[in-house]
Amino acid sequence: MKHYLPVTLHVLIALCLCFTGRGQDTIPSGTILFHSGQYRIRPSDMRELRRFTAAARIDSPLFVLVEGHSDSVGNYTRNKLLSLKRAMAVKEWLVKQGLGDIIVRAWGPDRPVADNRTREGRRRNRRVDIYFSRPQLVVPITPDREALPDIAELYQQIGTPLQRFCINPYRDTVIRCSQGTVIYIKAGSFVPSVGCDGGCVSFQVREEFLPSDMVMDDLSTTSDGRVLETQGMIYTEAVDCQGKKLDLQKGRDLVVLIPTDTVNAGAKVFKGNREDDSIMNWTMEDSPMLSSFSLPDIVRCGGSLSDATNKATCHPCHFFFCRIGRVVKVIGGVFSKQQRAQNLAFRQCQEELKNPSPAQDPKCTELERLLRKYGVSNTDSLIKAISQPLLDHFKVSTMKQLLDTLEKAGNTVELNAMGRRVPLANFKYYVFNTPQTGWSNIDFLTAIPYSSAVTVKLNVPAQKNISCKLVCRERRTIIPAVRVGGKLEIRGAPNGEKAVIVGIRYENGQPLLALKEIIVNEVSFDLDWKSVSVEELKEALKKLDQ
Select the more confidently predicted residue: 133 or 397.
Answer: 397
Specify the higher pLDDT residue, 341 or 435. 435
Backbone angles phi, psi at 55, to 5 degrees: -65, -35
User: What average pLDDT does the segment 29-51 reach?
Assistant: 84
What's the mean pLDDT when you consider all of the chain?
A: 82
Is 124's pLDDT higher than 60?
A: yes
Better-predicted residue by pLDDT, 360 or 22: 360
Ramachandran bin of 504, using left for φ above 0, alpha for ψ from -120 to 50, beta for the remaining angles = beta
Over residues 354-361, mean pLDDT: 57
pLDDT band at 45 (very low <50, low <70, confident <90, very high): confident
List CB contacts of 506: < 8 A, sequence separation 6 or more: 149, 150, 151, 153, 154, 465, 466, 512
Query: pLDDT: is 93 or 23 the higher one?
Result: 93
Q: Residue 139's pLDDT is what?
A: 39
Share of the chain above pLDDT 70, in %: 80
pLDDT > 90 in the chain, percent: 40
15 pLDDT tier (thresholds 50, 70, 90): very low
Q: Domain segments of the chain: what residues?
A: 7-147, 163-287+438-545, 294-432
pLDDT tier at 194 (50, 70, 90 boundaries)?
confident
Q: Is the dihedral of CA 117, 123, 128, 134 positive or negative?
A: negative
Res. 433: pLDDT tops 90: yes
The pLDDT score that the predictor gives to residue 501 is 96
What's the confidence (pLDDT) of residue 234?
96
Least confident range from 44-58, 84-98, 295-309, 317-331: namely 317-331
Residue 14 φ/ψ, nearest 5 degrees: -60, -35
Confidence (pLDDT) at 6: 38
Q: 519 or 305: whose pLDDT is higher? A: 519
Q: What are phi and psi of 528, to 5 degrees?
A: -100, 110
Confidence of residue 349 (pLDDT cuts 50, 70, 90): low
* pLDDT given at position 537: 95
- CATH of segment(s) 7-147: 3.30.1330.60
CA dist 272 and 282 (Å) reads: 5
pLDDT in tens, 47-69: 778 777 776 555 554 567 888 99
Give helix 7-20 / helix 43-59 axis angle, nearest 10°.
Answer: 80
Q: Check residue 145 and give its pLDDT.
A: 45
Integer-rounded Cα Rg, in Å, for the chain is 29
pLDDT (tens digit, 9 = 90+) per residue, 175-184? 999 999 999 9
Out of 72-76, 99-103, 438-442, give the one with best mean pLDDT: 438-442
pLDDT, greater one: 336 or 125: 125
Please choose, from the candidates 75, 438, 440, 74, the residue with its C-alpha nearest in 3D space to the C-alpha of residue 275.
Answer: 75
The DSSP-derived string for 116-162 is TTSHHHHHHHSEEEEEEE-TTS-PPP--HHHHSPPHHHHHHHHSPPP
238, 203 contact by CB (below 8 A): yes
Strand partners, 227: 222
Q: Is the pLDDT of residue 1 over 90?
A: no
Cα 454 from Cα 495, distance rounded (Å): 6
At 502-543, the pLDDT tens digits run: 999 998 889 999 999 999 998 899 999 999 999 999 999 999
pTM over 0.75: no
